[in-house]
Structure 1
Amino acid sequence: MDTPTQSGFPPPLPPEPPAPARNRTNAIIVGSAAAVIAAVVATGVIVVQYNNDGSRPATTAETNSSAERLADTAADEPEPEPTYSELAADDFTIKLRTTERQCFGSAGCNMTVEPRLSYLGLTEDIDPNAVYEITYEIRGGESGPVIETAELSDRTSLNFTPTVLSTASASSKVSVEITDVTVQGQ
C-alpha cells in the first residue's frame, strides 16, 4: 500500500474562536454610528422640509408659538414717536465768510458776508421735519449791529440772505454771535 506523501507544509491549524468582548464592542460602535447617521438624516429632512414649504415641522411649532405671539404683539404696538433735542444758541458755532469786499482808502470798505454755522451735537438730534430760525447779530459795521435770521431745515439745509456792511477802515474787525434759536410756528 502506498503511503500518502507529505508535503513540506505543516497541517493547517484549527481556527481560533472569536473573542466575545470584541464582537460586543464592534456592535456598540456600529449601533452608535447608525444612531448618529439617523439623527443627521432626520435633521436634514426637517431642514429641507422647512426650506421647501416654509412651514415649521410639528415638533418645533409648539415651542415657537410663544415667540410668534410675542412678535405679533410687538407688531401691533405702534412705533414710539422719535424725540428730538430742543436746540439753543449754545448748540451752534457761527463764523462769517466774506464773499465780497471793496475798500475806498480812508473812506472805509463795503463788504458782503454770509453765516457759516456748525451744529455741535449729533445731526440725528435735529427734527428733520422742523424749520429752525437761527437769529444772529453782526457787529463791526458803521451803522451799528445788524440782526439777521437764517432758516435751518431738513437737518442740513441753511437758507439766509447775505449781509452788506460798511466798515470805517480796512482794518475794522467784524464779529458775529447767535442770539436765539426757535422752531418756526411755535
Structure 2
Amino acid sequence: MSSMWLVVIAVGVVLALLSAPVLGRRRLGGKAHRIRQRTPATPEATMKRSPNERPSSPPRARRPAPPVTEFVVVGRRVQVTVNGNGLLVRSLQGSSWYKYVELEWEQIHKAYLDTDRFDAALALYATTSNGEDSSKRHLVDAQQLTRGQWNQLRSAVYEWSEGAVVIDLSPLDDPPFNTNT
C-alpha cells in the first residue's frame, strides 16, 4: 500500500502531518491513533472564550423583506391572484395559464358563494356593476380550492380590497356542498 504525505496549512498553522490517505484516524501497528491539531502558543490561541460569548465580528445587516405586492393561490386547474388593483382568475388549459376573468375592486359590488341557474355546483361569483348594467360573474368553482385555500383567499380579498369585499364561506359548510362528511 502506498502512503501519501499530506501537509495542511491554514493561516500559517500546520494542522497535521500525516502518512495516511485518510484524515481522522489511522492505524499504526494495529492501534488507532487520533490526529491532533497543533496550534502555536500565542496569547490569542491560549485565551478561551466563554460558551455564550460570540465572535467580535460585526453582525451582518439583513436585507428587509420585499413588500408583498400580490397574493396568489393555486388550486385544481385555477390560479387566483389578488392585489391592490383587483382580482385575476386564470385557468389551466393544457400546459398554459389563460386569463379567465379580471376585475378591479371598483367593479366588484359583491363576492359570494352560490349556485347558478343551470349549474348546481357551488362556486364563487362576483356581482359587478358597470354603470347601469350589473351582472353575475363566475370566478372559481368551490371544488377547485381546499378549505384552507378558501380561508386564505377570503383574508386576502378582505385585506387587498380594504374591507370593501367580504366573502362569506359558510355555504362551504352546508350539507349539500360539504365534501368532508
TM range (shorter): under 0.3
Return the structure number with greater strand share. 2
Q: Which has the higher contact order (CA 8 A, sep 6+)?
A: 1
Q: When the two structures are superposed, what TM-score results if normalisation uses the length of structure 1? A: 0.24
Return the structure number with greater helix share. 1
Q: When the two structures are superposed, what TM-score results if normalisation uses the length of structure 2? A: 0.24
